[in-house]
Amino acid sequence: MGQAQIVIDQVSHCYRPQRGREVLALDKVALDVREREFVALLGPSGCGKSTLLYLIGGFLPVESGRILVDGAPVAQPGPDRGIVFQHFALFPWKTVRGNVLYGLERAGMPQRERQRRAQQFIDLVGLSGFEDSYPSHLSGGMKQRAALARTLAFDPKILLMDEPFGALDSQTRSLMQGELLTIWQGSPKTVIFVTHDVQEAVYLAERVVVMSARPGHIKAVIDTKFDKGETDILKSKSFIEKVDEIWHLVRVEAIAAQGDRLS
């Protein structure tokens, strides 16, 4: 087994708000992620899973511990680690096409090639015909597809997803999960997927990293490799048992997180 692509080594993170006390969000988290692996970060609200994602992405500075990507420490955001946010973060003044083109423009791709590539990814996520629409005209699901197309277009080798389907209704969410899996299977990348939904984590990921309540550390890492192509996988016995097993691990942390909030 080769060197892991992403190495998270004893990473802790403290939030220091303008007013109020310091909050320890992450407590000595250690994790290795292999190339092209689909990993889910699962845990209750406030457990620091998004924080860990932002640290890997370079949006927050790593103050304690190290994060290495392909052997080099993470310093800045960059197109090698593409991010998809829960609330889409589309540029509202640009059309879908304009949004998808942005990363390609920054990469200095020649005009003709980036137009072609943008169209390719717009088609891939199923937004053909909406290239010239503005985000304010799109539904939640469509916005998330646009955000996905935008990030995939500049071909990051790592995909960071921050509860990307959290703002969608449950039907759209199910559809998007299936589509994401299809896309990933078509062009495998390393994916780190943050969610609080156990079933989503088990369905999508090959490994589920269960995090504790704040201050977050890794409680357990469960293998969830299934044959995702199997029909009605969600109703299969092994799937349900796996979800159950993980849910019990999470439940305790969710209750602890609740208490933390009320105190």
Partner 1 sequence: MARVAGSTALTAPVQASSLATRVIHYASRVAARSFTIVVLLLVWEALAHSGVVSRFMLPPLPSVIVRIIEQLGSGEFFVEAGRTLSRALAGFAVAGLAGTVLGMLMVRNAAARWFFEPVISVGFPMPKVAFLPIFILWFGVYDLSKITMIIVDAVFPVITATIVGLQGVEREIVWSARNMGATERQVLWQVMLPAALPQILTGLQVALPIAIIIAIATEMLMGGVGLGGAMLEASRSADSASVFAGLVETTAVGYAAIKAMALVRRRLLSWHQETQRSTGF
What residues line the site for partner 1 (CB under 8 A)? Answer: 54, 57, 59, 76-79, 81-83, 85, 87, 89-95, 102-103, 106-107, 134-137, 150-151, 154
206: tokens are 């090959």
Cβ of residue 156: shortest distance to partner 1, in angstroms? 8
Cβ of residue 169: shortest distance to partner 1, in angstroms? 13
**What 3-state DSSP class applies to 252?**
helix
176: tokens are 């998007």
Residue closer to partner 1 by CB (options 137, 251) is 137
Cβ of residue 103: shortest distance to partner 1, in angstroms? 4
246: tokens are 């993980």
Cβ of residue 231: shortest distance to partner 1, in angstroms? 35
Residue closer to partner 1 by CB (options 88, 184) is 88
Burial of 146 (0-12, 13-18, 19+ CB in 10 A): buried
> Got the DSSP string for 220-246?
EEEE----TTSTTGGGSHHHHHHHHHH
Residue closer to partner 1 by CB (options 65, 79) is 79
196: tokens are 């609080």
Position 214, amino acid = R
How distant, in Å, are the alpha carbons of 6, 7, 219 from that of 30? 11, 8, 11
Cβ of residue 89: shortest distance to partner 1, in angstroms? 4
Alpha-carbon Rg for the chain in angstroms: 19
Residue closer to partner 1 by CB (options 96, 257) is 96
Question: Angle 111-124/140-153 helices, nearest 10 degrees?
Answer: 140
Residue closer to partner 1 by CB (options 138, 213) is 138
Cβ of residue 224: shortest distance to partner 1, in angstroms? 28
The residue length of the chain stands at 263
Residue closer to partner 1 by CB (options 65, 77) is 77
